[in-house]
Chain A
Amino acid sequence: MEQTPYEYDVLVVGAGGAGLRAAIEASAAGASCGVICKSLLGKAHTVMAEGGMAAAIGNVDERDDWKVHVTDTLRGGQYLSNPKMAEIHAKEAPERALELEAWGALFDRTKDGRILQRNFGGHRYPRLAHVGDRTGLEMIRTLQDHGIHRGIDFHMEYTVFRLLLDDGRVAGALAYDRERGRFRVYRAKSVVLATGGIGRAFKITSNSWEYTGDGHTLAYDAGADLIDMEFVQFHPTGMVWPPSVRGILVTEGVRGEGGILLNSDGERFMFDDIPPLYKDQTADSAEEGWRYVVGDRDARRPPELLTRDHVARCIVDQIKAGKGSPHGGVYLDIAWIKEKISNSEEHIRKKLPSMYHQFKELAGLDITKERMEVGPTTHYVMGGVRVDAESQMSSVPGLYAAGECAAGLHGANRLGGNSLSDLLVFGKRAGEYAAAFAREQGDVRLDEAAVEAGMKEALEPLEREGGEGPYQIQHELQDLMQEKVGIVRIESELEEAIEEIGRLSDRAKAVSAPGNREYNPGWHTALDLHPLLVVSEAVARAGLLRRESRGAQFRDDYPQKDEHFGKVIIRAAKGADGEMVVEEMPVEPMSDELTRLVEEMG
């Protein structure tokens, strides 16, 4: 073998919230642990999370508890979530939030000095622990600064492109050094995937370049199942102008603080379409909505705080009806609260500092005085690796997944704030169980032939001359997914998309990336094409099979929910011939206790 392998009990791929939390836990359990990340430490996508972390601590409204949280999550996910995961998540999130505080995180406070919680879409009570609108930074920095003193090895700016197996069990990984282009072989008794999402498969996205579906594809190639891939969350409010910032996120916190959505006629259109499932929980009037924002416990939430799937679709409808803003969005107005509070400008700057900053610097717009223009942006994938609810292990022994690259918690639609808590709750569990697996299952053997073959294949784009460049294929794929596998889907377009993805896959096998191996973005992009194409195919095929509209999936040809599809989830896996197989499987059954809870809470 060319290199001596790095050896760990537990290898974690990804250093966002889930990866760091997993590594800290594995290390605490006595496992030797290495973390591989594509960026520098502390730059992972978690850093961009704004609004907060959902945890039913009940500091602001003592009526809140895990039971309300789990029912909110299941309702938000249109009852396709793995109920056991939703239950574990709701029960353990408060402990994970408080633990973060013990490691140095400083959340905003209530008047009596406890962690303050804010309103967010789909959460019945104020539930999100937050730090202004930079909660993700607080979280990742806390985990990073805690983690670097825990004996964990960090391998920064490495990309894992292949998992290694030993007789069906995971045995390690193959990575390349982004800076210098050298390969590295890792041998590990268990592997935790915590690679985040797939947003880069779409043209308009709030996601960074890292989100190329690596973990999804590593697991898929190793034989694990992907589920729920049709459910891609389009966040209702991304920036739309200027063009170069299109897609950058505008936090739901703006609406949590009283921001309202308006069309070009100045109508507050969200009042016009309130889904039956949420009728009882939604304000009847603007006046009641405002009372909710300022903490009146008898008031119901304004319709801007309905779930993201619904708000995004309402915005698309306005734009289609010709009531959009000049640059193809709608208006989001927080400045209007000056009618309600005297120091509104200062209040907005304090509650939403990075939004103020972002619009001021990138769009030359003052959100304390002017309306923002916003539109949907690809934000999150509910789908991912199918894992065991308790342990987070996939169907491949020793292979775990946590955070966005795992699936099950969010079902058809994720509630805002449930991601940061997901990362911590299931990151911790993955680390714990991966360490136990490593301890119990003993050593693994590396398949040297697979290592050699993997490296040889990865070098092909560099060595191939005269082929097409990788960027062209990446851009075509992003346009295709945006256009045909986006917010509104239809059978004929999904079929066309699947065919086109096949053609792009063939072209991807013949790309050339000129230059040498050191920090060569062309080469990196060439290697990113495979994961991007795999996840794109999974999204399109699962979207085609689900002939209904539910949660994040909207089918123009099947605009209603369908009873049958309310009982099944869709699984994608690699067939014996290497082709993707997509099929239905039953939703995980709900315990009697949860069933009762759901009935009680309505």
Chain B
Amino acid sequence: MAATEFRIWRQDGAEGEGGYRDYTTDVTEGMVVLDAVHQIQAESANDLAVRWNCKAGKCGSCSAEVNGNPRLMCMTRMSDLPTDRPVTVEPMRAFPVIRDLVCDVSWNYEVKKKIAPFEPRPPDAEDGTWRIAQEDVERVQEFRKCIECFLCQDVCHVLRDHHLHDEFVGPRFFVYNAALEMHPLDTRDRLASLKQDEGIGYCNITKCCTKVCPEHITITDNAIIPLKERVVSEFYDPLKRLFRVFSGGSRA
């Protein structure tokens, strides 16, 4: 057991002035940051606000910045952090703070609603269902692993530094698009929307999102780049453009 120092962000409501406050608590074997935060909450800060749920890395609720790194608190072991200085815990900085470590992520839920939902092709097997190969399932399962922790959104500079929330949906929703676009049964076309409404062009593939994903989804390489390629070949392929001129197609 070792007394460990923490610097935790406290903020009294969205409009309140925020600042770090220092706490000390005993850290025992196997503890994760969320355990320490809960212990501090029980011992000395009953009203310390923290959002969490499953405590097993499956729900994506306890996202925060630990020593400046976007992490799930429940999956960050204390033994992996340096002990010679206080552990800093603060809310995700790309979203407005509601209180202490809890921030307002409702924007993400609004964004999702605007993306065209799944629409399957008609069943093709005699029994009224579909036949799908396991390899086609596996291609998409990587994207469907997403637990919506929004750490990728937190670290994306287009949102975090440039605040382009109205023009850019962020890595989480490119992963969502990829899951739909590469779904073996889906029939919708989301490329025009990706280009015009969702701002996929703003991403300059710095891969910050991939680095912080707790589910180890290869966001940039497997989701964003293939979507960018599809958008490019749809809208910037000279042959397709020529075809559109003659056919009077409206997509541009």
On A, residues with C-beta under 8 Å from B are: 39-43, 45, 47-48, 98, 101-104, 106-109, 111-116, 131-132, 134, 136-138, 141, 145-146, 148-149, 154, 156, 179-180, 208-210, 241-245, 248-249, 354, 357-358, 361-363, 469, 471, 513-516, 518-523
Query: B53–A210 contact, CB under 8 A?
Result: yes
**In residues 110-132 of chain B, which contact A (Cβ within 8 Å)?**
112-113, 117-118, 120, 123, 125, 128-132
B41 lies within 8 A of A521 (CB): yes
A448 to chain B, nearest CB (A): 30
* Cross-chain pairs A/B with CB under 8 angstroms, 13 sampled: A40-B51, A48-B54, A48-B58, A106-B144, A136-B58, A137-B144, A179-B98, A180-B98, A245-B55, A248-B56, A363-B30, A515-B46, A521-B49
Which B residue's beta carbon lies closest to that of A142? B118
B212: shortest Cβ distance to chain A, in Å?
15
Q: Looking at the complex, which one of B31, B52, B120 makes contact with A242 (CB distance below 8 Å)?
A: B31
Q: Which residues 86-112 of B sit at the A interface, judged by CB distance below 8 A?
A: 98-100, 102, 104-106, 109, 112
Nearest-Cβ distance from residue B108 to partner chain A, whole angstroms = 9
Encode B27-55 as 1/0 by CB contact (under 8 A) with A. Answer: 01111100100000110001111111111
Neighbouring A residues of B106 by C-beta, 8 Å: 156
B75 partner, pick from A107, A179, A361, beta carbons under 8 A = A361
B47: which of A39, A112, A514 is its contact (CB, 8 Å)? A514
A132 and B49 within 8 A (CB): no
Chain A contact residues: over half helix, strand or loop, or mixed?
loop
Query: Does B199 lie at the interface of the complex (its beta carbon under 8 Å from any beta carbon of A)?
Result: no
Q: Known: A248-B55, A249-B56, A519-B102. Is A102-B46 also a contact (CB below 8 A)?
A: no
Binding site for A on B (CB under 8 A): 12-13, 28-32, 35, 41-42, 46-61, 75, 77, 98-100, 102, 104-106, 109, 112-113, 117-118, 120, 123, 125, 128-134, 137, 140-141, 144-145, 147-148, 180, 183-186
- Which residue of B46, B99, B180 contacts A518 across the interface (Cβ within 8 Å)? B99
Shortest Cβ distance from B216 into A: residue: A357
Nearest-neighbor residue (CB-CB) of B140 within chain A: A106
Q: What are the residues of chain B within 8 A of A47 when measuring CB–CB? A: 54, 58-59, 147
Q: Across the interface, name the chain A residue whose C-beta is closest to B41.
A: A521
Contact A43 B133 (CB under 8 A): no
> Given A42-B148, A134-B145, A518-B99, are A243 and B28 neighbors across the interface (CB < 8 Å)?
yes
CA distance A268 to B55 in the complex (A): 31
Chain B residue at smallest Cβ distance from A249:
B56
CB distance from A48 to the nearest CB of B (A): 5
When the two chains form the complex, which single residue of A102, A137, A469, A513 contacts B58, counting CB atoms closer than 8 Å? A137
Q: Which A residues lie within 8 Å of B125 (CB)?
A: 114
User: Given A98-B129, A112-B131, A145-B112 in contact, is the A361-B137 Cβ separation under 8 Å?
Assistant: no
Smallest Cβ-Cβ distance to B99: which chain A residue? A519
Known contacts A48-B59, A515-B47; decide if A41 and B30 are in contact (CB<8 Å).
Answer: no
In the complex, what's the smallest C-beta–C-beta distance from A405 to chain B, in angstroms?
Answer: 18
Distance (whole angstroms) from the CB of A260 to the closest CB of chain B: 24
Complex Cα distance, B46 from A248, in Å, reads 25
The answer, among A109, A112, A208, A243, for a CB contact under 8 Å with B30, is A243
Are the CB atoms of A40 and B61 closer together than 8 Å?
Answer: yes
A209–B35 Cα gap in the complex (Å)? 13
Q: Is the CB of B109 within 8 A of A141?
A: no
Nearest Cβ on chain A to B64's Cβ, whole angstroms: 14
Q: Which residues of B contact A148 (CB under 8 A)?
A: 109, 112-113
Of the candidates B29, B46, B53, B99, the one whose C-beta lies within 8 Å of that of A43 is B53
The CA of A48 and the CA of B99, in the complex, are separated in Å by 27
Q: How far is the CA of A134 from the CA of B113 in the complex (A)?
A: 24
> Contacts A106-B137, A146-B117, A361-B75 given: A518-B53 contact, CB under 8 Å?
no
A103 and B118 alpha carbons, distance in the complex (Å): 7
8 Å CB contact of B145 from A137, A358, A362: A137
CB distance from A93 to the nearest CB of B (A): 15
Pick from A114, A131, A521: contact of B50, CB under 8 Å: A521
In the assembled complex, the Cα of A522 lies from the Cα of B99 at a distance in Å of 14
Using Cβ atoms and an 8 Å threshold, which residues of chain A touch B129? 98, 101, 114-115
| CB neighbours of A141 from chain B (8 A) | 144
Residues of chain A within 8 A (CB-CB) of B117 are: 104, 145-146, 149
Given that A47-B59, A137-B147, A248-B55 are contacting pairs, would A108 and B49 also be in contact in the complex, using a CB cutoff of 8 Å?
no
**What are the residues of chain A within 8 A of B12 when measuring CB–CB?**
516, 518
Q: Do B131 and A43 touch (CB < 8 A)?
A: no
Q: How far is the CB of B180 from chain A (nearest CB, A)?
A: 8
Q: Say yes or no: A242-B29 contact (C-beta < 8 A), given A42-B148, A519-B100.
A: yes
